Structures are given as structure tokens and as C-alpha cells.
Homo-oligomer: A and B are copies of this chain.
Amino acid sequence: MKLTILGCYAATPRTLTNPTSQVLEIKNRLFLIDCGEGTQVQLRKNKLKFSKINHVFISHLHGDHFFGLIGLISTFALLGRTTDLHIYGPKGIKEIIDLQLKLSNSWTNYQLFFHELESKESVIVYEDDKVIVKTIPLKHRVYTNGFLFQEKIGERRLDLNAVRDYEIDKCYYQNIKNGRDITLEDGRIIPNHKLTFEPIPPLSYAFCSDTKYSEEIIPLIENVTVLYHESTFLQSEETLAQKTMHSTAKEAAKIALKANVKQLILGHYSTRYDSIDVFKKEAETIFKEVLLAEDGKSFEF
């Protein structure tokens, strides 16, 4: 699982910082999460292939999270894309894109599917044989969802020594990996746990931005491998965080601790701070495993 941060700053794009966008690579699928202005250039800079992006998840309709979407959709069209593109985002996003395509007398040669979200409960928005994506309802000034990306539990892993010792034919291997016990020719039944190891533990990634501090998300993100939680402010700006329905670094760390996540990544920093190191320091007073998102940085898990 690999996460590339295209942008992780709040509010306005600047010369050296970009609004929210990131790419999650999980089980060889690429998911684009949020799409602030300049995302297509950030994708190019980070050498991420446009053609591999088939699913875009938009958390909410504040500009720093979606103003780059129409440009991305248009560029895909100009470059002759033919593969379907799926957009998951709040109700209204289709109207915004459709209106701009209509008024520019443009269209896409590929199919554009909008999956508009309205539910205040967590819902499954994407599922295939290896990955499932659910919404994480967040509390912000407009309707907002985080997204939980989960690998599905894989096959059990074959214990090669064991299957050789029992002289089991290769044609049974897939059944064994699927969890079946095996009956030998002499009638003995070998229970599956003697032939396999546990599957590789599935990885999971929870993207939570933008949101005020809310313990209601904890049951949804409990035990995830990586939690990206916004920390627009430091605790010194707690009042401002409450007023604007954002979180502080300390609050993000509290959520990480209570949800027992393995790794916390902070981001969505207000541009008022000269350095982001202070966010890490503040969060580490609560929770030890803290990483800082930075534009252009990749994390592998």
C-alpha cells in the first residue's frame, strides 16, 4: 500500500503548497482522493499516470478539495481517454461538472459515472474482489465524507513444507488456500491449519478531512493501518478550530489513540504556520506513531 501526497495544505494554493489531493495505491488499484486546483499538474510532477486513475473520491465541496476536478476531467478528454471514470462525491458534484462541460460545448469520449452521496451513515461506495471502500461521515461546515479503503482478507498461505511432507498433489493447492481440509489417499484427514499459515493481514487506510474532532468516527476506523486525519490548527488555535469545524494536531492524535490505529499521518495544515514540525511535536504528546504529510511525499506500508 502506497500513499502519495499531491497536496496537503488548507484553503488556497500557493507558490509552493497545494490544496488537498492524494493518490492511494492499494492492491494495484489507484484511487485519487480529493482534487484541489492544480491536481493534474501535481499528478504529472509525481509521474502518476493519468490512465491508471479510474476512481476519484471527493470528500466535500469546498474549493480546496475539488476545484481541480473539472480540469482533470477535461484533460482526460483532450488526451483521448476512453476508459470509464467514476466520481464519488457529495450530491451536486454532477451538476457542477455537467454545467461546465455543457457551457464549453465539450464532452468526454469516455463514460463519466457520478456516484453522488447523501447518506449520513457509512455506506459502501466501491467494492471489487480485493478492495472495499466505505464512507466515513465527518462533521464539517458542509456535507463531508472521509473514506475508508480496506483490503479484503486474502487466501491462506500455503505451508510448502507441509504439503510436500504429506505428498499432496498441486491440484489441491487452491482448495487448501481457500481453507479446506484435505483427505489423503490412506483416509487420513489433514486439517487446514496444518497446511497453511494465516493470510497476510489486510491493510487499511482511513482518510478523514475535513472534520472537527468527533469520536463518532472511532468505531469505523478502529485498528486501521494508517489514519490520515486533518490537523488544520494547533491546540493554541483550538477556538478557531471549533469555530471553523476543523481539528488540531492534538485532537487528531487523540482520535488515533482511541481508535488504536497503527500510524497517524497529519495534514491539511493552515498556511498560517511557518513550519509544520510543530504539528508532529504536538501530536506526539498523545500518540507516538506520527508522520507529517508533505506535498510530493510518498509513504509505503
- A: residues with CB less than 8 A from B are 11-15, 37-38, 40-41, 44-45, 61-63, 67-68, 70-71, 74-75, 78-79, 90, 92-93, 95-96, 99-100, 103-106, 141-142
Residue in B closest to A45 when the chains form the complex, CB atoms: B15
A15–B44 touching, CB < 8 Å: yes
Q: Complex Cα distance A68/B75, Å? A: 14
Cβ of A75: which chain B residues have Cβ within 8 Å of it? 11-13
Is there an interface contact between A63 and B104, defined as CB atoms closer than 8 Å? yes
11 further A-B contacts with Cβ under 8 Å, apart from A14-B44, A61-B105, A63-B100, are: A12-B71, A12-B75, A15-B44, A37-B40, A37-B68, A38-B41, A61-B100, A61-B104, A63-B74, A67-B70, A95-B103
Q: Given contacts A37-B38, A99-B95, are A105 and B141 in contact (CB under 8 A)?
A: yes
12 chain-A/chain-B pairs, Cβ below 8 angstroms: A12-B79, A13-B38, A13-B40, A14-B44, A37-B40, A37-B71, A38-B41, A61-B103, A61-B104, A62-B104, A63-B74, A95-B99
Which of A37, A79, A142 gathers most chain B CB within 10 Å? A37
A146 to chain B, nearest CB (A): 18
Partner pick for A40 among B12, B70, B141, CB 8 A cutoff: B12
A141 / chain B contacts, CB cutoff of 8 Å:
105
A92 touches B96 (CB 8 A): no
For A67, what are the chain B residues with a Cβ–Cβ distance below 8 Å? 70-71, 74
Cβ contacts under 8 Å, A105 to chain B? 61, 141-142
In the bound complex, do residue A103 and residue B96 qualify as a contact, i.e. CB atoms below 8 Å apart?
yes
CA distance A105 to B142 in the complex (A): 7
A61-B99 Cα distance, complex, nearest whole Å: 11
Cα distance A26–B227 when bound, in Å?
Answer: 52
The interface residues of chain B lying within 8 Å CB-to-CB of A100 are 61, 63, 96
Q: What distance in Å separates the Cβ of A95 from its nearest Cβ neighbour in chain B?
A: 7
Is B63 touching A106 in the complex (CB atoms < 8 A)? yes
Roughly how many angstroms separate A213 CA and B14 CA in the complex, as a whole number? 37
| In the complex, residue of chain B having the shortest beta-carbon distance to the beta carbon of A65 | B104
* Cα distance, A40 to B95, chains bound together (Å): 25
Q: In the complex, which residue of chain B has the Cβ closest to the Cβ of A105?
A: B142
The residue that A99 contacts in the complex, of B41, B74, B79, B96, with Cβ under 8 A, is B96
Query: Smallest distance from the beta carbon of A104 to chain B beta carbons, Å?
Result: 5
Task: Give CA–CA (A105, B74) in the complex, Å.
Answer: 25
Q: Indicate whether A13 sits within 8 Å of B71 (C-beta atoms), given known contacts A37-B38, A38-B37, A38-B41.
A: yes
Residues on B with beta carbons closer than 8 Å to the beta carbon of A44: 14-15
